[in-house]
Amino acid sequence: MGVVNVTPDSFSDGGEWFAPEAAVAHGRDLRARGADVLDVGGESTRPGAERPSEAEELRRVLPVVEALAEGGPVSVDTMRAGVAAAALDAGATLVNDVSAGLADPDMVPLVADRGVPVVAMHWRGHASDMQSRAVYDDVVAEVCRALGERVDALVGAGVARERIVLDPGFGFAKTAEHNWELLRRLDEVVALGLPVLVGTSRKTFLGRVGRADGDERAPLERDVATAVTTSHAALHGAWGVRVHDVAGAVDALDVTAALGGRV
């Protein structure tokens, strides 16, 4: 899953693809490099980010979704049912909701009615204050329990179980230690029995690993570390990875397969 950020304040690219024409060109390049799905989002979810209005989010994503959907599968990365509905009408075929339907009460009925696949991520609140909620006794057990509860809610509302993808939410209300523990015990998330999407790409904890304070890798310097987590995810049964550097992820998966790993 290749990331297409149509935002002026993304942590990973600083708004490089904010103009619709640039976002479309970037998405086509990611597809050419091996992306199976393009994930188009118009709201930054980096820690501390403020939400755009729904009208602004629609303005950002709709022309990009419409253009990219002509060439292959497109996901819309949104927490708003109105944006998801418009994006589906424009050609998107999957909804990636980082709140798993908790941010907008209309989201779950929408995906149930449309019969589309949905990515349900572990979420404890909006970006503006989510890191204050990064408190766990056992992060993996608590994430698995919360994801199980969301699956029950989605299925109970009419979403087909086989259309649900789970995302443990790396970096969302998680410290670096929480992220590493989730990666180490990814098997436990996979054991929930549904496809698992891993989204570690360029996250802050990858910038810090092995580095002293003040010497962290910048976001664009985290692609090698991301590729290692891609290989790890494949070896531990993940369904997919959401990445900025698609070519690096494809290389990591090719090497993993050559060594006899599951991809």
Among 203, 208, 222, 262, the one annotated catalytic: 203
Q: Are 237 and 196 in contact (CB under 8 A)?
A: yes
Q: Are 98 and 79 in contact (CB under 8 A)?
A: yes
Is 174 catalytic? The answer is no
| Relative orientation angle of helices 81-89 and 54-69, to the nearest 10 degrees | 30
Residue with tokens 């664009």: 220
Among 80, 202, 222, 242, the one annotated catalytic: 242
> For residues 6 and 89, what is the distance between their CA atoms, to the nearest angstrom?
19
Is 202 catalytic? The answer is no
Reduced DSSP (H G I as helix, E B as strand, rest coil) percent helix, strand, coil of the chain, to 5:
45, 10, 45
Residues β-bridged to residue 242: none
Q: Which residues are catalytic?
A: 203, 242
